[in-house]
Each structure stands twice: as structure tokens, then as C-alpha cells.
Amino acid sequence: MKPGFVYMLTNRKDGVLYIGVTDDLARKVWQHRSGTVSSFTKKYNCHLLVWFEKFENLHDARVAERRMKAWKREWKIRQIEELNPQWHDLTSELHLA
């Protein structure tokens, strides 16, 4: 079974946040950057990968995504800053995931 990922994209530090789920994080980030998925990320130029978490399977990732989407913004920001306090683009780390 393939792993699943929950991820957050933004347009800048403390900017607009987008939460998504996928079974292929590198492909999905590329799709967001090329504008082929999600009119929201295209509209707000959310292309910086600032947080992601790997799950054993896509089902577990989807459950986590739904839970996170209900979180307050402050909780989402806290999650990002625990892993990535400078809000660097983590795309280069995808081969480690």
C-alpha cells in the first residue's frame, strides 16, 4: 500500500495557507506550481511547501487532512513553525519523505 501525505502550501510567511492530501507529494507540488490543480492555490499563488507529514496510507492521510482543515489558523501556524520556523520551501526535502 502506498503512503499518503498531508501538506501545507503558502504564498509567503504568515500568508495564505492551503492544506491538501496526496499519495505522491512531489508530483502534487509540481501540479500546484504549474497551475494544473486547485484554482485556490493558483489564485493565491500558494507554491511554497512549508509543512508535510507522511502517513502509512492515503486513508489515514485523508482523515488527518479533514481534522487539520477544522483547526484554527493559529494551530496550523504552530504546526508549521515546530517543523519549519523560517517557513523555508521544503520541496528539496521531498526525496527524503
Q: What domains can be seen in the chain, in order of their start residue?
A: 4-96 (3.40.1440.10)
Mean pLDDT estimate for the chain = 94
Would strands 48-55 and 17-22 be described as parallel, antiparallel, or unpaired? unpaired
Q: What are the cell numbers at 20?
A: 491538501
Neighbouring-strand partners of residue 18: 9
Side chain identity at 6, as an amino acid letter?
V
Q: What are the cell numbers at 82?
A: 515546530
Whether residue 74 is predicted with pLDDT greater than 90 in this model: the reply is yes
Which 3 state secondary structure label does DSSP give 24? coil
pLDDT score recorded for residue 96: 53
Say if CB 40 and CB 17 are below 8 A apart. Answer: no
Average pLDDT of span 55-75: 97
Q: Each residue of 26-42: pLDDT tens digit?
A: 999 999 999 898 789 99
Q: Could you tell me which residue, 96 or 10, shows the higher pLDDT?
A: 10
pLDDT score recorded for residue 1: 83
